Amino acid sequence: MPRPILATIHQQALRHNLARVRRAAPDAKVWAVVKANAYGHGIERVFDALRGADGFALLDLHEAQRVRDLGWRGPILLLEGVFEPRDLELCSRLELWHTIHCDEQIDMLAAHKTLKSHRVFLKMNSGMNRLGFAPDRYRAAWTRLNALPQADEITLMTHFSDADGARGIAHQLRAFEAVAGDLPGERTLSNSAATLRHAGLQSDWIRPGIAVYGSAPDFPEHDIAHWELEPTMTLASRLLAVQRLQPGDTVGYGSSFTADGPITIGVVACGYADGYPRHCSTGTPVLVEGVRTRLVGRVSMDMLAVDLTPVPQARFGSEVTLWGRASGGAVLAIDEVAYAAGTLGYELMCALAPRVPTQVD
């Protein structure tokens, strides 16, 4: 028998979350962002649930080929554009739209021999300081692109650094509008946080990523219940053993947990080799038989321990939900586990280990 650990991808939750972000921007078209193998969920596992989107956005050509192989004939956007000239040949063949964020990419497109012009997304660096043309160079880049026969329609694009926090988007939006306000073409501005927190923002295309996968983009200020999102990935396992400790007994490597009284713990078939974060410490929430309890001691490669005090009926084989939805319906948001590890739900989704079997419900 295989180890009793299983990841489940919830297609109905994906559909629900996609509909939720649509309601936040009812006049916009929606990119379903499936980069990083659909945030660790698997492109093939999420495709049917997300094909109600207007397009798929991703990073690399291999992922684009996979989406086309699944039968998608609509728009596909390369969020970072091309990396070398020959990539443009595949863009032509697969009819990919692609981002232009630097002079080198314009140079490559200018030299590209094609019978069919490309739909491009010209990115402004309005303050994120990753990719894009600085505001004072943006119009020149647009003018150069607009003169190329290889370029068809130009969509105007930027990315917000603080849509999930107090600083907000106003400073970047001002920088964008000051330069691009009178340029023709559609716009794509809003990520998950901007879509949910700044719902009045006019964006012809929205780019929701993490919200579609059931994680709150501004946790802990707001959780998924606040945004009416549902978990799309459940990581579940079972108890391998039950241990009864006496005062002074310790748990796991480094003896980081010491019992201050009699306590029963359960040993779970899950560890950092499965993608559960090693940095989670005593107190990290866990569900046992749908009852909320806590992790105790240090996470090992293949096992971790949980406090069974709130669930005294637990025994060998009892269900443990590390994140997601328990079989009885109780929910432990991935954000809570990530927060305990000092990281984000994004990382936990993407870090799910290949050795964990995965099913689609």
Q: Return the pLDDT at 115.
A: 86
Q: Return the pLDDT at 358.
A: 97
Q: Return the pLDDT at 199.
A: 85
The DSSP code for 133 is B
How far is the C-alpha of 49 from the C-alpha of 186, rounded, in Å?
A: 26
3-class secondary-structure state, position 235: strand
Query: Cα dihedral angle (157, 159, 163, 165), rounded to 10 degrees?
Result: -160
3-class secondary-structure state, position 134: coil
User: 218 to each of 6, 36, 194, 195, 197, how far by Cα in Å?
Assistant: 28, 20, 10, 12, 9
Q: Is 138 a catalytic residue?
A: no
Crossing angle of the two packed helices 87-94 and 61-69, in degrees rounded to 10? 20
* Vertex 277: Cα angle to 273 and 279 (nearest 5): 125
**361 residues of the chain, pLDDT tens digit each:** 689 999 999 999 999 999 999 999 999 999 999 999 999 999 999 999 999 999 999 999 999 999 999 999 999 999 999 999 999 999 999 999 999 999 999 999 999 999 899 999 999 999 999 999 999 999 999 999 999 999 999 999 999 999 999 999 999 999 999 999 999 999 999 999 999 999 889 899 999 999 999 999 999 999 999 999 999 999 999 999 999 999 999 999 999 999 999 999 999 999 999 999 999 999 999 999 999 999 999 999 999 999 999 999 999 999 999 999 999 999 999 999 999 999 999 999 999 999 999 999 9
Q: Return the pLDDT at 172.
A: 97
Query: Which residue of the set 29, 35, 123, 272 is catalytic?
Result: 35
For 99, other C-beta atoms within 10 Å of its C-beta total: 22
Q: Return the pLDDT at 200.
A: 84
Helix (H) or strand (E) holding 359: strand 358-360
How far is the C-alpha of 187 from the C-alpha of 212, rounded, in Å?
A: 21
Contact criterion met (CB below 8 Å) for 158 and 124: yes
How far is the C-alpha of 358 from the C-alpha of 9, rounded, in Å?
A: 7
How far is the C-alpha of 352 from the C-alpha of 337, rounded, in Å?
A: 14
> Which residues, including other chains, have CB under 8 Å from residue 190's CB and lie 6 or more apart?
25, 28, 160, 163, 198, 201, 203, 206, 207, 208
The DSSP code for 201 is -
For 62, other C-beta atoms within 10 Å of its C-beta total: 11
Q: Is 113 a catalytic residue?
A: no
Contact criterion met (CB below 8 Å) for 174 and 127: no
3-class secondary-structure state, position 57: strand
Among 276, 297, 288, smallest CA distance to 233 is for 276
Q: Return the pLDDT at 1.
A: 62
Crossing angle of the two packed helices 135-146 and 103-111, in degrees rounded to 10? 0
3-class secondary-structure state, position 137: helix
Q: Return the pLDDT at 14.
A: 98
Query: Which residue of the set 29, 253, 276, 339 is catalytic?
Result: 253
3-class secondary-structure state, position 123: strand
Q: Return the pLDDT at 6.
A: 98
Among 82, 79, 158, 152, smallest CA distance to 120 is for 152
Contact criterion met (CB below 8 Å) for 350 and 213: no
> Which residues, including other chains, have CB under 8 Å from residue 328's CB and lie 6 or more apart?
289, 290
Crossing angle of the two packed helices 43-50 and 11-24, in degrees rounded to 10? 50
Among 33, 340, 338, smallest CA distance to 193 is for 33
End-to-end CA distance of the chain: 21
